[in-house]
Amino acid sequence: MTVRDQLPVRRLAPTQSPTGENWSAHKPDLKIDFNDHCAYCGSYDGYRHTYFEVDHFVPKSLLIVKGKIGLCQYDNLVYSCKFCNNKKLSKWPSKDEDVRVINETGFVDPCDADFDNHLFRTADGAIMWKSNLGKWLVTKAFKFDERSSSIKLLWELNQRRKMLETFATELAKRDVNSQEYKDIKAKAEKISWEYFLQDSELMNYYNSI
């Protein structure tokens, strides 16, 4: 499986035109363009455990010095959970905003289809690598290996969230007195209970770190 359900696509013309250091004004557009998920780890932004930020793909520290890419330039901004943003921080492999990878160390724009050539998601939701660059992303850049417990729980929660949305759609099509309705509702209640248990487990995990 891919890390994200679908490849994010940045719009060519965002709805805002911020200047200076007001790049956060782009957050609502980024949220939509990145499908409400972290560009890097694929976590859904609908849980109280996560907080989402606007990340500069090419880091601000380089942009302030070089100035070729604007701080509010939309095609350099990424919708990222705080965990990925904090881990990525100052790990750009070069002093040049145009040089993204050196000796299989560096970053791939998460809107580039090449991102999925380096990483994949296992059946239980963990993130692993397909390449040496992918291994660096997993073990050094974003520490997906150290964060494996929370990444898997967030993935499992999101799978159940999507299942519940599907059940809700199907229930709306059926007579509340029908056996079909009762069967679907029973399945939804089971998934809801599993969702609650995993949500509690994730909260306990975050409270312990």
The predicted-structure confidence for 123-151, as pLDDT tens digits, reads as follows 999 999 999 999 999 999 999 999 999 99
Q: What is the pLDDT of residue 66?
A: 64
Distances in Å between the alpha carbon of 159 and those of 38, 154, 162, 164, 166? 15, 9, 5, 9, 11
Name the β-bridge partners of 44.
37
Residue 152 CA to residue 147 CA, distance in Å, equals: 9
Residue range 7-25: average pLDDT? Answer: 95
How distant, in Å, are the alpha carbons of 130, 171, 188 from that of 175? 48, 8, 16
Q: Measured between alpha carbons, how far is 31 from 41 in angstroms, rounded to an integer?
A: 15
For residue 186, the Cα-to-chain-centroid distance in whole angstroms is 31
Supply the pLDDT for residue 103. 92
